[in-house]
Structure 1
Amino acid sequence: MTELVAESGVSRATTYRIVAALIGHGFLARSADGLLSAGPRLAPRGAALRAQPLLVELRDATGESAQLFVRRGQRRMCLAAVESMYELRTSVPVGSLLPLGRGSGGKALRGASTESGYFVSMAERAPGVASVSAPVMVGGTVVAAISVSGPIERMGMDAVRRMGETVVRAAAKLSTWWTTV
């Protein structure tokens, strides 16, 4: 706190009020030993920024659109997305709210587990669209889902298996980043 007061040039009382408000709104968190860090409302935003290059890698490796989702009640929200380079592609705009009960991203966010580590959707959310998703885990808790989606014609079961392994690796990488945001 002393450092914040010194760096900001704001009075100690005002700094305390600002910090208390930021903690109250989830933008800051205070550890047991009093240290301040990014709060729970900032972690997803930071993860989305860090995930963007990973989504580009995932898109380039699979050829399909890639997305990062977080749970919002009984829906999922797209935090970050990169579209396929193909003319025929799926598009999920950032900020979109989708049903949690349909699609592989929703399955991954609900916290179930699979032997393969990934979830598959074939025309569940939209006709002609397939997707593969894996959960992003931090401390045994699902915090997000990373997905690839595209036309069902390009995403047969052989392609889905290959993409699934790639998506699982991307989710594992993002899991390690998520905790350092």
Structure 2
Amino acid sequence: MDIVTGVGVLDKAMTVMRSVGRGPRSLADLQADTGLPRATAHRLAMALEGHGVLRRDLEGRFELGYALVALGQAAQSRFSLVDTARPILAELRDETGESVQLFVKEGEQRRCLLSLETPHGLRWIVPEGALFPLDAGSAGRVLTGSATRMGWMQSVGERESGVASVSAPVTNGSGVVAAVSVSGPIERLSKQPGKRFGVAVVVAANRLADALD
């Protein structure tokens, strides 16, 4: 079993899910695929079935559950956001010369859906898919509804020492749906990143909001 997060029960459950993702599995198949004890494989599969992410086929084998359909549709809607945002953020990166990101709120955290890196050798890399807190960094505060009267929020060394960022909200009729950010070393963005790139970030965020209408 591949340990990914260090959270034992989650890693084991995902091992079961990956096994079933390759095709219907009997309990014996699950045990052989995952290397888990029979009782553990059975307990996890039954719990996942209870959540609807696994089900039984006509032969009693474990199969992917119908709850994944709704999750997949939700994920697809997020991917359409990424597809729409990519050319706009690419222009923002080229205009500013710095790394740019697109974040969305996910529970009490924020997730990076899109990250385009600066060509500079010295850069701040934000991995796509990474989760960060909402209470630190300009994007987190934007996603919780904070912004200056100019429409952007900046942070300097707040979440990561030596890194500055400026973010602006992407809004629709229901509120903030995403945050567009420019981030990089303080040496380049300065201690007033909003002065340097606030307008550009707001323009990009508004373009994305218009494109999503």
TM-score past 0.5 threshold: yes
Tell me the distance in 1 between the aligned counterparts of 2:91 and 2:67.
34
Check whether the contact 2:166–2:193 (CA below 8 A) recurs between aligned residues. Answer: no
Please report the TM-score for the alignment, with normalisation by the length of structure 2.
0.64
| 1:60 aligns to 2:94 (yes or no) | yes
**Cα separation, partners in 2 of 1:23 and 1:97, compared to 1, 3 Å:** closer
Q: CA deviation at 1:40?
A: 4.7
- Counterparts in 2 of 1:48-127, with a 5 A limit? 48-127=82-161
Which sections of structure 2, spanning at least 5 residues, go unmatched? 1-65
RCO comparison, higher one (Cα < 8 Å, 6+):
1
* Higher deviation after alignment, 47-56 or 162-171: 47-56
Structure number with higher strand proportion: 1
Shift of 1:112: 2.2
Distance (Å, rounded) in 1 between the aligned partners of 2:159 and 2:68: 37
Instruction: Give me the CA root mean square deviation.
Output: 2.0
Task: Say whether the 8 Å CA contact 2:165–2:193 is kept in structure 1.
Answer: no
Alignment check: 8 A CA contact 2:189 2:196 kept: no
- What is the deviation of 1:60? 0.8
Task: Tell me the distance in 1 between the aligned counterparts of 2:110 and 2:82.
Answer: 14
Matching of residue 25 in structure 1 with residue 25 in structure 2: no
Q: CA deviation at 1:87?
A: 0.3
Query: Structure 1 residues 138, 129: CA separation in 2 closer, same or farther (over 3 Å shift)?
Result: same
State the identity %: 45
Asked if 1:44 is matched to 2:78, the reply is yes
Alpha-carbon distance in 1 for matches of 2:128, 2:151: 25
In the TM superposition, what is the alpha-carbon distance from 1:116 to its structure 2 partner? 1.1
- How does the TM-score come out when normalised to structure 1? 0.75
Per-residue deviation, 1:159: 5.1
Contact 2:147 2:168 in 1 (8 A): no
How far did residue 42 of structure 1 move?
A: 2.8
